Amino acid sequence: EVQLVESGGGLVQPGGSLRLSCAASGFTLSNYEMNWVRQAPGKGLEWVSYISTSGGKIYSADSVKGRFTISRDDAKNSLYLQMNSLRAEDTAVYYCARDGYSSGLDAFDIWGQGTMVTVSS
Amino acid sequence: DIVMTQSPDSLAVSLGERATINCKSSQSVLYSSDNKNYLAWYQQKPGQPPKLLIYWASTRESGVPDRFSGSGSGTDFTLTISSLQVEDVAVYYCQQYYSTPYTFGQGTKLEIK
C-alpha cells in the first residue's frame, strides 16, 4: 500500500525548533518530488515547501523562508522539515504530500495523515 | 503569487441534485508548451487529509466516482458533482500547481440541504 506517515509534531515554545519526519512506503521515494502543506486549526490549506528528486531544487513559501528547511533521505525513504524560530502562527497540522509529476499528473496525489504542531508558551 | 478564489464559500444542495463550485485564478494556469491547465481539485472530510479528485483541470483521479467532473481553462474552472451523495459532504479546494508558491483556494464547504 502506498503510504506516507508523518511524525515529530508536538508542543513547542515560541522561538523553539522542531523536526518533522515523513516516512514513505509502498513506492520508491527517490522517484518523486515531495511537498509539505499545512493547515491551521479551522483554516484552509497552505503550501509550505517543495523538494525535487535528489534535492537539487527547493522552494518555500515566503512565510517560512529562512526558518524552515525541507530535506530528504531517499536511502531511508524519508522526507523532513526542520522548523526553527517557530511562531504562534506556525501552529497547524503539517502534511507531507507526494507530487505526482513522475506519475504523469503533477498534482499532490498521496497525502499523509498529518502531524500537529502547536507553538505556545 | 497566483491567487485562487473559490465561490461560493459554502453551498447546500439536496441529495441527488447537482453541486457546482467555481474557482478563479488571478492569472492563467494554462501552460502553452503542453496545453495543460495546472489546476487540481481536492476533497477534505473532517479529520482527514485532502484527497485528490481532479488534476489537469478535468482528469479524474483513479477511483474517483464519475459523478465528479472538472472543467474550465485559463483562469476559470468548475468542479461539478452531478448527483450529490451523503458521502460528498466535505470541504473542496482548488489548487494551482503552475508555479510556486503553489496556492489553494479558500475552500468551499458543501452540505446537504
- Test A111 with B51 for CB contact under 8 angstroms: yes
**Three-class secondary structure of residue A55 per DSSP:** helix
pLDDT of residue A15: 98
pLDDT in tens, B30-43: 999 999 999 999 99
**Prior bond to B8 cis, omega within 30?**
yes
Q: What percent of chain B has pLDDT over 70?
A: 100
Nearest neighbour of A107 by CB, restricted to B49, B52, B101: B52
pLDDT of residue A3: 97
Residues in Cβ contact with B65 at an 8 Å cutoff, skipping those fewer than 6 apart: none
Nearest neighbour of B49 by CB, restricted to A35, A47, A112: A112
pLDDT in tens, A75-109: 999 999 999 999 999 999 999 999 988 787 889 99
pLDDT of residue A105: 80
pLDDT of residue A53: 95
Q: How many angstroms away from the CA of B73 is the closest CA of chain A?
A: 16
Q: Has residue B27 got a pLDDT over 90? A: yes
Residues in Cβ contact with B23 at an 8 Å cutoff, skipping those fewer than 6 apart: B4, B5, B6, B39, B41, B72, B76, B77, B78, B79, B94, B105
Kind plus residue range of the DSSP H or E element containing B83? none
pLDDT of residue A104: 78
pLDDT of residue A102: 77
- Test B93 with A44 for CB contact under 8 angstroms: yes
Instruction: Collect the ranges in chain A with pLDDT lower than 50.
Output: none
pLDDT of residue B24: 98
Q: What percent of chain A has pLDDT over 70?
A: 100
pLDDT of residue A103: 80
Residue environment code for A56-77, b if the CB has 16+ CB neighbours within 10 A, otherwise e: eeebbbeebeeebbbebebeeb
Q: Cell triple for residue A81?
A: 522539515
